Amino acid sequence: MGSSLAEATELKNKGNDAFKKQDWPEAVEWYTRAIEAYGKEPSFYTNRAQDANKAIELDPSNVKAYYRRASANTAILHHREALEDWKLVVKKAPGDATAKIRKTECEKIVKRDAFLKAIEVEDAPSAAEGLDVEHMAVDPSYDGAKLGKEMTLEFIEDMIERFKNGKKLARKYVFQIILAVMDIVKKEPTMVEVDIDGGQEITVCGDTHGQYFDLMEIFRLAGKPTEEHMFLFNGDFVDRGSWSTEIALLLYAYKWLYPTRFFLNRGNHETDDMNRMYGFEGECRAKYTERVFKLFSESFSALPLATLIGKKYFVLHGGLFSDDKVTLDDVRKLDRFKQRQPGQSGLMMEMLWTDPQTQPGRGPSKRGVGLQFGPDVTKRFCETNNLEAIIRSHEVRMEGYEVEHDGKCITVFSAPHYCDSTGNKGAFIKIDPEYKLKFTQFDAVPHPNIKPMAYASNGLQGLI
């Protein structure tokens, strides 16, 4: 703690260098060390958006700190808090055109959210009500494979090629796929339990975030799903990347074809508020219809929250809990249908939002939602539930995956060069009948010239 300002500034500069190389985790590490070395300099805190409060406490006139806090609150959908800060930024820096745009967008979102809340109905009818898919016509100009009452491998192979070529599915088939999968996942438990028999394997993938062409690379390297080759996609299929409908429909088609061999966990981006901000709702509207989004939304809220593989690996999108007393039995008993959206507290929110930390115990989330859990928390959870490890996703890892907490916490992230800006590798994990893990890293592949967040709310275009 006795370090000088000069030494701490040198640490901060190393963070800036890492930031320029788009190595975000290393940048945060250097910024954290700078703060630990000299905690009285406000500018150090503005480099980590979650520390903007401290920067403002040290220097209430620090415009950059208000800007960072507004950006952070916008990103985690705390729009009312963000709007107050955007107003302050515009007042203190009236020449900042970007801040004015963000303020205007934030005002629109606050009004929209208020309107949606006002018209919200607790027991709203399903978007499927009155939808006569059976008698819906397919346009005669549609040049793809036909879909009958059951999914076929031929149809999936055709849709893979259609999506590669920028083509869409007939709307009737989109409705059929979503409705069929919604019916399947509603019957699954909150925690699906699967064993790997001889001759089988399971491939576990993390976030894909609408990066369809990188999903194709996963299937090229890992092999496509079959009865013997199971898959688990661990949430965040959609948002940010601009081929989210393609990924969601393809994963759903495989789920329909292999209902007991292909598994989908819900992520924090399979939720309405995130989909409205980060592109999936806009993409559904642009490529199909508002009703398609509403059906996807219903199906997302029915997805399982976790998968237990061989009673050894607990796989969920975010991470562990605020209470050590929570066990796998509590997850089994969790009624995920009581609330469609995760809210700001409770087991569902924690399963979708929490992150690991290096220090023991629990700490506040750097996201502003959920919490962070240390290696001791993971160790106790694994010992209590006789687990080898937890497998989670939810965070970019520069190498595509990371094994931490003494091997008990494994993060896998499957969207390489995330948002066309991060430079990270992607990864997936194969688990064999002996329950051994094999990690495969891969690089991003070229894709058509459509930028990430193409369908997102305008206020988030610069907050990737």
Contact indicator for 191, 328 with CB cutoff of 8 Å = yes
Q: Which pLDDT score, from 0 to 100, does residue 19 have? A: 62
The percent helix, strand, coil of the chain (3-state, each to 5) is 45, 15, 45
Q: Which pLDDT score, from 0 to 100, does residue 460 have? A: 47
DSSP code of 48? S
Nearest to 389 by CA among 327, 306, 305, 311: 311
Contact indicator for 233, 200 with CB cutoff of 8 Å = no
Task: Write out the two tokens for 90.
Answer: 């515009």
Contact indicator for 262, 230 with CB cutoff of 8 Å = yes
Choice among 79, 209, 269, 317 that is catalytic = 269
Q: Is 269 a catalytic residue?
A: yes
Contact indicator for 247, 212 with CB cutoff of 8 Å = yes
Q: Which pLDDT score, from 0 to 100, does residue 11 have? A: 79
Task: Write out the two tokens for 17.
Answer: 């260098």
Dihedral (CA of 40, 41, 43, 44) sign: negative
Q: Which domains does the chain have, with CATH numbers?
A: 5-119 (1.25.40.10), 153-460 (3.60.21.10)
Q: Which pLDDT score, from 0 to 100, does residue 117 have? A: 66
Neighbours of 75 (CB within 10 A): 17
CA 248 to chain centre: 13
Nearest to 302 by CA among 174, 129, 181, 122: 181
Give the HSE-up count for residue 252: Cα atoms under 13 Å, Cβ half-sphere: 29
pLDDT along the chain (464 residues), means of 10: 68 73 58 68 55 74 81 73 88 88 82 65 78 94 96 98 98 98 98 96 98 98 98 98 98 98 98 93 97 97 98 98 98 95 92 97 87 97 98 96 98 96 95 98 97 78 44
pTM: 0.82
